[in-house]
Homo-oligomer: A and B are copies of this chain.
């Protein structure tokens, strides 16, 4: 009877959920705003409610759930299911997986949102079946996920894969993380808008000011794309530069990690990928050793917004069916954090 998996993609601004049947088909889905400012307990209730809504829409009762996979911003501990400290979510040492397991009476598997997105692309998207996958997702920030031999790579820190926080330019612009010159501070949408704003302040012109406000308060990836396509020189300069940095960073990662597939996703790539890809490839080729490039594929993500929910559901399925470390039921895992809801 139990045969469905629920995938949850918890983000700083929205929560996506999807119910997958045993053929991995999405039979129901629902989304809502996160409203992180309400605090962690309220956000948890919103997760539970929207999950219930997805289940109801699919005509699935909670008792038919085999398990739940959830991706969340980190840092987090995939072994205990706790979100350690997420600035975007205002979570702090929060037993997200144990509480969900308690609520829905099924095993719950927690992982980093970007890891889960990369896993989705590996299981059902652009990187299907590759032995070493490097996922990089470029939006307001730059996140990454590494899939090795079919499993999300966590490292000893349990939070590996943060490809946005390699220093590409020592002494460069300050990153949100506090360091200087991280890739995220050079090639994320946030960093592009910061540069555009600076140029505008110094008297340069861009078509963006027409729609995104005099101070470019609301530049979306779509707006960047439109400006790029209309030959906005300033936007071209900034976007092309970002693509070059991404290429150089990825070239180094190719030398270190030797991936089979690099998947590029996120809002910036969805909007501008076609225009950035050639420069990104060129940067990779400039840095990576020839023999590592021969069989490397660099592809755009295919699942878009669904990568998170599909990856989360696939992760749960994988853990339930193929991982002999998994504990098959977690209904008795307390929400008080006495023990892990599962083991990864």
Contact = CB atoms under 8 A, between A and B. Distances in A.
A287 B174 CA distance: 11
A169 B166 contact: no
A157 B256 contact: no
Contacts of A130: 156
A132 B158 CA distance: 11
A139 interface: no
Residue from A131, A156, A249, A251 having most chain B Cβ neighbours under 10 A: A156
Contact of A286 (B161, B179, B295): B179
Contact of A179 (B148, B257, B287): B287
B289 A160 contact: no
A84 B157 contact: no
A167 interface: yes
A259 B244 CA distance: 28
Contacts of A166: 166, 252-253, 255-256, 287
B160 A257 contact: yes
Contacts of A256: 144, 146, 160-163, 166, 253, 256-257
Given A165-B289, A286-B179, A258 B170 contact: no
A85 interface: yes
Contacts of A260: 156
Contacts of A245: 170
B167 A289 contact: no
Interface in A21-37: none
Contacts of A254: 157
A296 B170 contact: no
Contacts of A167: 168, 248-249, 251-252, 287
A38 interface: no
Contacts of A131: 156
Interface in A142-199: 144, 146, 148, 154-163, 165-170, 177, 179, 182
29 contacts: A75-B289, A130-B156, A144-B256, A148-B148, A154-B258, A155-B257, A155-B258, A155-B259, A156-B259, A157-B254, A157-B292, A157-B295, A157-B296, A158-B258, A160-B256, A160-B258, A161-B258, A162-B255, A162-B256, A165-B252, A166-B252, A166-B255, A167-B251, A167-B252, A167-B287, A168-B170, A169-B170, A170-B245, A182-B252
Given A132-B156, A157-B292, 16 more contacts: A75-B289, A131-B156, A156-B258, A157-B258, A157-B295, A160-B256, A162-B289, A165-B255, A166-B166, A166-B255, A167-B249, A167-B252, A170-B244, A179-B287, A182-B287, A253-B256
Interface of A: 75, 84-85, 130-132, 144, 146, 148, 154-163, 165-170, 177, 179, 182, 244-245, 248-249, 251-260, 286-287, 289, 291-292, 295-296
9 smallest beta-carbon distances between A and B, as pairs: A155-B258, A166-B252, A157-B258, A160-B258, A156-B260, A157-B292, A162-B255, A132-B156, A165-B255
